Amino acid sequence: MLELKQVWPQEYAARYREKGYWRGETMFGFLEQRAREIPDHIAVIGGEQQWTYAELLRRVNESAARFLSLGLHPGERVVVQLPNVPEFLSVVFGLFRANLIPVFALPAHRITEISHFVEKAEASAYVVVAKDGDFDYRVLAREVKARAAGLRTIVVIGEAEEFDALDHLPQALVQLPQPPSPSSIAFLQISGGSTGLSKLIPRTHDDYVYSFRASADICGLDEESVFMAALPVAHNFPMSSPGVFGALYAGSRIVMCPSPSAETAFALIEKHRVTITGVVPPLALLWMQAASASVHDISTLDVLLVGGAKFTPEAASRVRETLGCTLQQVFGMAEGLVNYTRLDDPQDIIVNTQGRPISPDDEVLIVDDQGEPVMDGEPGLLLTRGPYTIRGYHNDDAANARAFTQDGYYRTGDIVSRTAEGYLVVRGRAGDHINRAGEKVSAEEIEDHLLAHPAVFDAAVVSIPDPYLGERSCAFVIPRGEKPKTAALRSFVRGRGLAEFKVPDQIVFVDAFETTAVGKVSRKVLRQQLRQQFLKTIPMEA
């Protein structure tokens, strides 16, 4: 098994400790402490379940013992694919307690993504819920098992069929391990995947706890707050910005929302008197539209975080009047850096910027194509390093060579400008992914799937502005022989076992791609050309 590590140069690590960012807290340690301090406070509500902090801790210890009873050893990796249910917390903190390493998959991921995570992380186990809505994760688990030789165990929450039911595993005899080093890796998060398949992001206890402790503070969470997880909780935004982890750190109450539709979310906001939640821009638009006709009283909501993709100033300016709460923009990434507008910022900053970094020690460089810093107000490429931004991906030398500078800055691929007050405005993106309602889709990954179809000679996937999704994906395809049907091609891609959000929204057949006088153009230039042509000839609603 490859070692998991994340190493900051000595002098940085020393500074981050000295300044009190890294306090030696661990993922399990802070929760245990909270359970000691406020055992009877409600920690999480989901469906019919409601657990206090003491109850959550009891379940965490139980699931730690149960995972170890399977013969899993500290340091082994466990792919976790769970929807927004309270068990997400008992499983994940149970893994932390057992010094096992969760790898966070999204509920939408399918065989292609899951087997990639299992393989890249060398995972020994995979945890799923039996069913979520119509989808049966045990069917997916069977496919994963058949494909991933190294996977020893599949653990199911609920009716397990031939797999191990977490609740039925023995929990008595095992000795739980000593707490891990705070500088060790707590889990693997997944990247948005700008080139090819998602990369694995090793985050340490020290760095991650800092990011959500500080986030909880910036977002005003305390023991009176009720945080609702509306987006899939395995994503970095609802997990830690301030997310469910920030909420637990602050001793708040969590409400697990099974679907982010306005209907479901508003009903839960009313029922549980939710004070703060976070959504992606397309959902914010839907919620704003639904609010006036809704029968639910959502007046307890104080703060709506919006992030994951660009929120237009026009939409941002309507949040207060339509939803009656303060907007907090958040611009973050699973690799680290997170920016927030502050709750007491003037309206102009809240509406027109994507916030400023969490930490005084977040270093932000905005440079031109030559790597020279640009002036305030000018757009440039965002590079960053700091006390919770990674210095490298797991098991991916090629990606590391591309994504990090010699002196350890992460190349975010985002084009931003900085205001005189130090706030960032997202202006665009240099990389070739589609930001589809906050879900990142790699053009290259989808092109590879299209190319596997016998009737596809070549394919280029680009992002197109979309009034609802922010961006949608459009695949330009040169057919080989007879043109395939659009629906057949989309279902072919879906049939390759991909998250639904990656299936091209639109397919345009063309006879050829332009070449330059010199010959073939790069994929990047080709995608740009196709996008420009498309925008010139086809109206946005097409």
Residues 70-89 within binding reach of ligand OOB (CB under 6 A): none
Q: Render 60-91 in DSSP notation, one character per residue.
A: HHHHHHHHHHTT--TT-EEEEE--SSTHHHHH
Nearer to ligand OOB, 217 or 270 (CB): 217
Closest CB 412 distance from ligand OOB, rounded Å: 5
Residue 484, preceding peptide bond in cis (omega within 30° of 0): no
331 binds ligand OOB (CB under 6 A): yes
336 binds ligand OOB (CB under 6 A): no
- Judged by CB under 6 A, how many residues of this single chain contact ligand OOB? 23
Four-residue CA torsion sign, 241, 243, 246, 252: positive
Closest CB 103 distance from ligand OOB, rounded Å: 15
Rounded CA separation 275/253 (Å): 10
Contact (Cβ atoms closer than 8 angstroms) between residue 462 and residue 534:
yes
Query: Which DSSP state fits 500?
Result: G
Select from 25, 113, 206, 414 the one that contacts ligand OOB (CB under 6 A).
414
Closest residue by beta carbon to ligand OOB: 332
Tokens standing for residue 500: 């639904």
**Which of these segments, 39-47, 177-185, 233-241, 448-456, binds ligand OOB (CB under 6 A)?**
233-241
**Which of these segments, 11-19, 43-51, 124-132, 305-313, binds ligand OOB (CB under 6 A)?**
305-313
Nearer to ligand OOB, 308 or 504 (CB): 308
Rounded CA separation 193/199 (Å): 6
**Which of these segments, 90-98, 234-242, 365-373, 517-525, binds ligand OOB (CB under 6 A)?**
234-242
Select from 124, 198, 211, 236 the one that contacts ligand OOB (CB under 6 A).
236
Please report which helix (H) or strand (E) contains residue 256, including its range: strand 253-256
**Which of these segments, 94-102, 326-334, 396-404, 485-493, binds ligand OOB (CB under 6 A)?**
326-334
Residues 482-511 within binding reach of ligand OOB (CB under 6 A): none
Contacts of residue 22, defined as CB under 8 A and 6 or more positions apart, other chains included, come to 13, 16, 182, 183, 206, 207, 210, 387
166 binds ligand OOB (CB under 6 A): no
**Which of these segments, 24-32, 66-74, 204-212, 433-441, binds ligand OOB (CB under 6 A)?**
433-441
Please report which helix (H) or strand (E) contains residue 247, including its range: helix 243-249
Q: Where are the alpha helices (DSSP H) in 3-110?
A: 10-18, 27-37, 53-69, 87-97
Residues that bind ligand OOB (CB under 6 A): 192, 236-237, 241, 307-310, 329-334, 338, 354, 412, 414, 426, 429, 435, 438, 440
